[in-house]
Amino acid sequence: MSNKYIAHAALLIVNLLYGVNFLVAKEVMPAYVGPSAFIFIRVTCTAVLFGVLFLAITRERIQRSDLPRFILCAITGVTVNQLLFYEGLNYTTPINAAVIFTSNPILTLLVAAMVLREKIIPRKIVGILLGAGGAIALIILSRGGVSFDENTRLGNLFILINALSYAVYLVAAKPLMKKYKPLTVITVNFAMGWFFVTPFGWNQFTQIEWHTFTPFVWGALVFTVLGVTFVAYLFSIFALQRLTAPQVSVYVYVQPVTAALLAIALGKDRFTPELIICSLLIFLGVFLVIRE
């Protein structure tokens, strides 16, 4: 199996984890852990895990001239991406957030065209629009309608900035993949990101009442740190080394399918013709974007 097929498999796993996380994270926040504290825990633990792996395996040196790009990746890919997403959920609905984040592949395609001079070909545009249409329809059909009113305006803006930030991260990190190993890039990103996240999350972190945690909450926290952060970021950066930024971003459309299938497995939803049609649109859209 070629490295590109492995990269696609890695992205599929990443977005399966993200799809499950939508149902897991809301059981922890904000009842047990505040959003900023949640991010602080994720970034701290993941930075330590990446640091241990880096010291044991790579110990690759980075050039001083690349520090500005590493800082940009740390801000857009770790700090802004995570903080604004979870803070945004506090001011908007999960449905609004999911729908707005479908703009990420479109934004990634535009940023890649402007910065990396990647060609915007009709097939990719059609694929992204098909995937976005299927994802939005699936989200609305399975979770209810969107509500873009004054009460959700701030949260909607946070999620949109989050989507743009992640698009910038994917494009900014791509040139680093040509010079460094994926483990080096992601370790430096999280080490730098920790310094940016700490001022926002430390206060909430000190207010956590650990004695109130149930076994499920502990399990959800471990799953979020190991699966949704450590594995997801490592697999994503591995895939980005072998694929284009738009190809990586378009996999976000798999997340609502994962959430819908999990809801069906838990007996909270059922198969419908609409679910099948939306899923087919999503996978057709993803195929058109990732096809060489």
Tens of pLDDT, residue by residue over 223-244, are 999 999 999 999 999 898 888 8
What pLDDT, on a 0 to 100 scale, did the predictor assign at position 143?
65
> pLDDT at position 210, please?
94
SS3 for 291?
coil
| pLDDT score, position 192 | 95
Domain count, the chain: 1
Q: 168-185, pLDDT tens digit by residue?
A: 999 999 899 889 998 999
DSSP state of 180: S
Distance CA 256, CA 18 (A): 9
pLDDT category at 99 given cuts 50, 70, 90 is: confident
Average pLDDT on 112-118 reads 85
Residues with Cβ < 8 Å from 44, sequence gap 6 or more?
Answer: 194
Confidence of residue 16 (pLDDT cuts 50, 70, 90): confident
Pick from 35-44, 89-98, 197-206, 235-244: least confident: 89-98
- Of 21 and 131, the one with more pLDDT: 131
What is the structure's pLDDT at 275?
Answer: 80
Q: What is the pTM of this model?
A: 0.86
Domain that holds residue 180: 3-290
The answer, yes or no, to whether residue 95 has pLDDT greater than 80, is no
Model confidence at 1: pLDDT above 60: no
Residue from 104, 124, 138, 107 nearest 281 by CA? 138
The secondary structure of 113-172 as a DSSP string is: HHHS-----HHHHHHHHHHHHHHHHHHHHHH-----SGGGHHHHHHHHHHHHHHHHHHHH
Average pLDDT, the chain: 86
Share of the chain above pLDDT 90, in %: 37
pLDDT band, residue 145 (cuts 50/70/90): low
Q: How confident is the model at residue 268 (pLDDT cuts 50, 70, 90)?
A: low
Average pLDDT over residues 208-213: 93
